[in-house]
A and B are shown apart, each in its own frame.
With several copies, the nearest count.
Chain A
Amino acid sequence: QETMPISGKTCAELLEQYEGLPFTDVLPLEAGPIEVDGSTDEIVIGFSQTGFNHPWRIAMLEAAQAEACRHENVSMIVLDGNVDVAKQNNDVRDLIARGVDAVLLSPVESAALMPAARAVMNEGIPLIVMDRDVPTEKTLFIGQSNVTMGERVAEVMAEDLGGEGNIVVITGLQGSSPAVDRDQGMKNVLADHPGIEVLAVGDGEWIREPAVPIMEDFLTAFPDIDAVFSHAEESSWGAQLAIARAGRCEDGILHYTFDGSNAGFTSVRDGTFRADGNYTPFIGDIGMRAALYTLMGMEIPGAEEYGQPGVQLALPDSPTVTEANAEEWIGRGWGDFAPPLDPCQ
C-alpha cells in the first residue's frame, strides 16, 4: 500500500488515527469522493508547512493526510518550508504554478507570507491559513494563540509559586514565532507578579540536547531555583535530566512547559511536569475539511469576522493540562511515543 510523504504512513494507518482526532465534529464531512460542480475529478490540495523539524508539525500534517485519505479523489502535495520564510514563500508560489485546487498554509512568520498569500488569493485559489495568521485576505484562519497559551501556563506557575520565587527560562529556538509568543505570554503574567524573578534565560532550540548543559549550568550558578519555564516538552525533559545529574531532585523544581503531546500529558500525570500548554496540532484535518467545504461551495459554519482581513474559525479552547485533567487528556494529545523515564523517579 502506498505511503504518504513525510509521515511514511499508509492511508489505513492514518484512518485509524483519524478515529482519535478531537475535532472531527468541527466542519463534519462524510467520507467518500468529493463532488465539485457535479464531477469527482481529482482534487489536489497543496500544504505548505512551516517545517517538519518538530513532531508537532508532523502530527498536524498527519491529521490533514488522514482527512484526505477519507476522500479517494483528494490528494496532497506537501512542501517543507524549512523554517525559512523565503523558502516557504517560494513553495507557495510553486503550489500556485502547479495548479493546486486549494492551499493549506501554516506560515513560518505572519507578515512574511503576506505576498505569497496574496498571490494565492489573486489566482482565485482558496487559502486556509492555520496556526499562525497572515495579515491579509484569506478564505479562513484556524488557530490558537501562543500568547494566551503562554499566559495560561504562566498563570498556573504563578499560582503554584504563590507569586514568589526564582525561575529559569528555556526558550524555543531564538527568534521563532512560538518562542517569541510564549515568552510574551509569560511576561504578561509575570508583570503582575513582581515576586517571581527570572534568574536566567537559555535557548533550548525546542529540543532536549541544548537544554541539558544550559540547565546544568543554571543549577551550578543558582542554588535556589523553584521552577523551570520551558517552551517545549523536549527541553523540559532535558532540564529534568540535568536536575537528576546534579543530584537536585530533592529541590522539587517544578516544570512548566508546552506542546500538548500525549507523552507530555503522561509526564504531567506522573508528576514530572506541573503544567503542559495544550497547543493542539489537530487543526490539520479541520483545515483540509475547510478547503473541501470551500471547493464544494459550502458555507463554513462558525466562521466569523475577527478584526483581521478574512474570517476565522474559533476553536473550542484546549485547557492547559495539569494534574487535575491529565488522565482525561492522555490519548487526546498528539504523538504516540512514550515520555522518557523520569530520572528523578
Chain B
Amino acid sequence: MSETTPSSRPRDGAGTRSRQQIFSALIGRTGVLAALILLIIVSSFLNDRFLSVPNLMNVLRQVSIVGILAVGMTFVILTKGIDLSVGSILGVSVVLFAGILETQSMAVAIPLGILAAMALGLVNGLGVAFAGIPPFIMTLGMLSFARGLAFIYTGGTPIPILDEAFFNLGNGYTFGVPNPTLILLGTLLVSGFVLTQTPFGRSVYAIGSNEDAARLSGVPVGLYTTIVYVISGGVAGISGLVYASQLSVGTPIAGQAYELDAIAAVVVGGTSLFGGKGSVTGTLIGTLIIGVLANILNLTGVDPFVQQLFKGALIVVAVFIMARSSRA
C-alpha cells in the first residue's frame, strides 16, 4: 500500500538508471493515453457510428460536467487531500443559478453562484488547513451540509430556468465546438498552466509530496491548502454552471455522487492518491476513458445493470495497468 518498499531503494550514481527511469516515466504517462486509444479503436469496431463527428462531439459534451469537477479535484488530490463535497457544492451552485435567474440577469447569477461555491470550498479549506480536520472527514461533512443547503434553498422543488441566453450558454457552439467542452478545455488549460508554470502550482505538488518540507521551505502551506479547496469549490461552481445552463433546471439533487466519478477520473488519469504526482492532462484522459466507455456501452445497448459491472471493473483494471506499467 505504501509506495516505498524496502527493495525499491535505488543505488548511488544515478547515471546508470536514468535511461530506464525515463523509459518507465514514458510508459507511465503514455500508458493512460494508450489505454484511451485502445478503447477508441475497440469502440470503433463495436459500433460504426462511434467515430462519427456528432458522436465524438456528444462524448466531449457529455464528459464536460464531471471533467470540470475532476480538474478541480486534481488540485486537491495533488496535495494528498480529497474532496467528497464537489457534487453537493455543484448542487448548491445549480440551485443558486436557477434561483437568482428568477429575478436577476445572468451577469448577476453566474458570479454569485460561483462565489457561493468558492465560499463552501473556503470552509473546507479552513477546516483542513487550519482546524486540522482530515480532508476525508471535512468534505464528507460538507457533502451532507451543502446538500442540505441546496434542499433548503429550493424547498426540494426544482427551479426551472427560462432565461434563453443562459440556455444558449450551455447548449450553443462556439467555433463549432460545444460550449461546455470549451469551458472544460478552458478550465483545463488555466489549471495546467497554474500547476506547471507558477510558484503556487509547484508548491501544490510540494505540499502533497511532503507537507513538512514545504512548510520548512517557506511555502505558506495553510494558505495554499485553503486556496486549493477554494479552487475545487469554485470549479464545482463552474461545473454547476454547465449543468444548470445545459439542463435549464435547478434541481437540489444535481450532482449527487459525482464526487466518486470525478475521483475515478483523476485516478484513472494517473494522479496518485498519495499526493505529489499527477497532472490535469492525465485527468482529461481519465475523464475521456470513462466517458468513452459509457458512450460505447450505450451505443451497443448494453443493459444498464451490466454497465455498472463494466464501470466498476474498468476503474480497477485501468489503475492496475497503470501501476504495472509505471513499475516496469
Judged by CB atoms under 8 Å, the answer to whether A and B touch is: yes
Of A27-35, A196-204, A306-314, the one contacting chain B is: A196-204
Q: In whole angstroms, what is the CA distance A147 to B152 when docked?
A: 21
Q: Which residues of B contact A341 (CB under 8 A)?
A: 162, 164, 167, 248
- A-B pair number, CB within 8 angstroms: 212
Question: Does A194 belong to the interface (CB within 8 Å)?
Answer: no
Taking a contact as CB atoms under 8 Å apart, the answer to whether B254 and A85 are in contact is yes
Q: Which of B121-129, B229-237, B294-302 contacts A (4 or more CB under 8 A)?
A: B294-302
A58-B155, A217-B298, A220-B54 are known contacts. Are A90 and B304 too (CB-CB below 8 A)?
no
In the complex, chain A residues whose CB is within 8 Å of the CB of B161: 111, 340
User: At the interface, yes or no: B151 with Cβ under 8 Å from chain A?
Assistant: yes
- Quick check: B295 and A109 within 8 Å, CB to CB? no
Known A8-B155, A109-B158: A202·B298 in contact at CB below 8 Å: yes
Contact of A221 among B162, B249, B298 (CB under 8 A): B298
Which residues in window 267-310 of B have CB below 8 A to A? 294-295, 298-307
Among A91, A173, A208, chain B packs the most CB atoms within 10 A around the CB of A208
B200-253 residues at the A interface, CB under 8 angstroms: 243, 246-249, 251-253
Asked if B58 CB lies within 8 Å of chain A CBs, one says yes
**How far is B243's CA from A241's CA once the two chains are assembled, in angstroms?**
13
Residues of A within 8 A of B65 (CB): 86, 209
- The distance in angstroms between the C-alpha atoms of A289 and B159, with both chains bound, is 30
Question: Any chain A CB within 8 A of the CB of B104?
Answer: no
**Which of these, A111, A175, A217, contacts B247 with CB under 8 Å?**
A111
Q: Which residues of A contact B54 (CB under 8 A)?
A: 96-97, 220, 246
Closest B-chain residue to A56, C-beta based?
B157
Q: Does B326 contact A (CB under 8 A)?
A: no
Contact B301 A199 (CB under 8 A): yes
The proximity string for B residues 125-164 relative to A, scoring 1 for CB distances below 8 Å and 0 otherwise, is 0000000000000000000000000011011111111101
Please tell me if B52 contacts chain A, counting CB pairs below 8 Å. Answer: yes
B299 near A98 with CB under 8 A, answer yes
B30 CB within 8 Å of chain A: no
Determine whether A271 belongs to the interface, using a CB cutoff of 8 Å to chain B. no
Chain A proximity of B254: nearest CB distance (Å)? 7
CA of A268 to CA of B246, assembled, Å: 22
Q: Tell me if A109 and B251 are in contact (CB < 8 A).
A: yes
State whether A112 and B62 are in contact (beta carbons under 8 Å apart), knowing that A55-B158, A246-B54 are contacts in the complex.
Answer: no
Write the residues of chain B forming the contact surface with A, with a CB cutoff of 8 angstroms.
47, 49, 52, 54-55, 58, 61-62, 65, 151-152, 154-162, 164, 167, 170-171, 243, 246-249, 251-254, 256, 294-295, 298-307
A→B interface (CB under 8 Å): 5-9, 52-53, 55, 57-58, 76-80, 83-86, 89-91, 93-99, 109-115, 171, 173-177, 179-180, 183, 199-203, 207-209, 212-214, 216-218, 220-221, 234, 237-238, 241, 244-246, 263, 335, 337-341, 343
